[in-house]
Amino acid sequence: MRTMTPDLINSHIDDIRKLMRSNLRIRGKTLSDQIRKAGRLLPRTVRQEANYLVEIQAQSQHPKLARLLDTQRTKAAHGAVVEFLETIDPKERRKDRILGILGILALNLLLIGIAVVVWLVWTDRV
């Protein structure tokens, strides 16, 4: 089993940070900041895998602890996070957000219209 080098782990984390910045539009100084800001945008399992990578980044700086890191687990964590982030389409997210806002506005206008009609009927103005 090959040990994980700090450079390899840092490149994994840089890949994830770039994907979070481009696909989720989440910025931060570190990956842990980005994970915290992402919150519910990331599923629990993806968040856990990303947090695992943050934890082992610190461990990889220590030569003796770096030998104890699980290479397969690290690759699997990186793969899971990258796989999820690559499925996100920023244009689709933007479109969904706009449609959601328009839906809420339409519902509010409908409710206001109904309230006006009820008020007119109630006060015998119709």
pLDDT digits (tens, 9 = 90+) for 44-71: 999 999 999 999 998 888 888 888 888 8
Are 71 and 121 found together in one domain? no
Are 21 and 47 found together in one domain? yes
Which residues does 107 contact at the CB level (< 8 Å), separation at least 6? none
- Rounded Cα distance between 93 and 98, Å, is 9
Of 20, 9, 31, residue with least CA distance to 88: 20
Which residues does 120 contact at the CB level (< 8 Å), separation at least 6? 126
Express as a percent the part of the chain with pLDDT over 70.
98
Are 84 and 97 found together in one domain? no
Are 12 and 60 found together in one domain? yes
Domain that holds residue 105: 89-126
pLDDT tens digits for 2-20? 667 888 899 999 999 999 9
Q: Tell me 39's DSSP state.
A: G
Of 49, 71, 51, 50, residue with least CA distance to 60: 71
Are 10 and 60 found together in one domain? yes
What is the domain count for the chain? 2
- Rounded Cα distance between 52 and 122, Å, is 62
Average pLDDT, stretch 28-48? 95
